Amino acid sequence: MKQYNELSEQLFTIRDWLRFTVSRFEESEIFYGHGTDNAYDEAAWLILSALHLPHDTLDNFLDARITELERKHLAHLVERRIVDRTPTAYLVREAWLKGFKFYVDERVIVPRSFIAELLENGLLPWVEYPEMIESVADICTGSGCLGVLLAHAFPNASIDVIDISPDAIDVANINIEKYGLQDQITAIESDMFSALKGKKYDVIISNPPYVDAPSMETLPQEYRNEPQLALGSGIAGLDHTHTLLSQAAAYLNDGGILVVEIGHNRDALLDAYPDLPFTWLDVESGNEFVFLLTKEQLLSA
């Protein structure tokens, strides 16, 4: 920390700090993957958020001088990002998903989900009339981010966001309140379906833990600084998905759908369920990360 504090005495403007931070990130071995994919974007995010400046106003403030207290704060954050490999989202207590800003801290994984992309158009064409969806569940919600996106995709739906972690439920409630959605979204502490007896939904989504055991052993430190409970899912990364496939039908209304993200486990899933007629949904990164099944398909299999 002394090194960073001493250097901070030579850096006075945001331009100085941006150049310095990019250089330090480039020479370090930090891993990107929690909202950015390069040193410049990561540095800009950390600096602007730490100084409570809008992300789209960097050019307006590049030559603004910052206070001694702010310089010490930035030095501390840059050190933690490099030395401790703490994700920037934790350092600045925010993460972004499809234009929505969420509160996050070390109690939840940093939001990232292909399902968020699918919710931008309300799961069309599988949901023809989003306004007619009345009940939705998000299993393994973490920070509650997908629940908030669900509320905007399905404005007339009552939404349950479910997680086994009481810490995650606390964070989810922060984001529910942040967007004023307390009347529409309910956070429920539950080991997947265990506390949902008698409930039925038109749509169930889930971005569950899905990292397989070999991959868990080689995760970058940034991911190891996240709650491991929210990442690993058995030897093949499918333990939570097995539960979803075996139990979801009992919680779906007739005509209801299940949407699940599985990471890079498509081949393992197909090997395990050769008779299930998975529909693979197209997202920006391809069509092998998220599947859809109807209640009827789940029951027939």
Sequence-distant (≥ 6) Cβ neighbours of residue 41 within 8 angstroms: none
- Residue after which a domain boundary falls, among 33, 68, 92: 92
pLDDT at 75: 94
> Which domain CATH number covers 132?
3.40.50.150
**75 and 206 share one domain:** no
pLDDT at 301: 76
Helix and strand numbers (H, E) in the chain are: 14, 9
**165 and 272 share one domain:** yes
pLDDT at 111: 95
Give 146: exposed, middle or buried? Use CB within 10 Å, 0-12, 13-18, 19+: buried
Question: How many domains, in total, are found in the chain?
Answer: 2
Q: Indicate whether 98 pLDDT > 90.
A: yes
Sequence-distant (≥ 6) Cβ neighbours of residue 110 within 8 angstroms: 34, 35, 87, 89, 90, 95, 104, 226
207 token code pair: 């971005």
pLDDT digits (tens, 9 = 90+) for 105-134: 999 999 999 999 999 999 999 999 999 999
Q: Residue 223 sits in which domain range?
A: 97-300
**Global pTM?**
0.93
List the beta bridge partners of residue 288. none
